[in-house]
Amino acid sequence: MCRTTLSVDWMGFVYDCDFNQMLGLYAGLSGDTTVKSKKHINDLLQAKISGESIAIMDHCYGCTAGSGSSCGGALSAT
């Protein structure tokens, strides 16, 4: 999700994924990949965000391993 889609809360603040939103870890649009300053969806209307940094923490390993919730996670045969 974080590479192709942004998560936006009810007030319009932007996050790299749903997990980051729940943790209050704002989108990595400033080049810093740790805790961010708030970015509002209005701030992005004229911005080029392609290639920007993604805010990451330990919970991101679930997605990079292909087991994330909405991150194209692994399927099991039943």
Tally of residues, the chain: 78
Q: What is the pLDDT of residue 33?
A: 47
Distance CA 63, CA 78 (A): 22
Number of Cβ atoms within 10 Å of the Cβ of 64: 11
CA 49 to mean position of chain CA atoms: 12
pLDDT tens-digit series, residues 33-64: 445 577 888 888 887 777 777 787 887 777 76
Q: What is the pTM of this model?
A: 0.69
**pLDDT reported for residue 10:** 94
The residue to which tokens 């080049």 are assigned: 31
Pair 53, 28: CB distance under 8 Å = yes
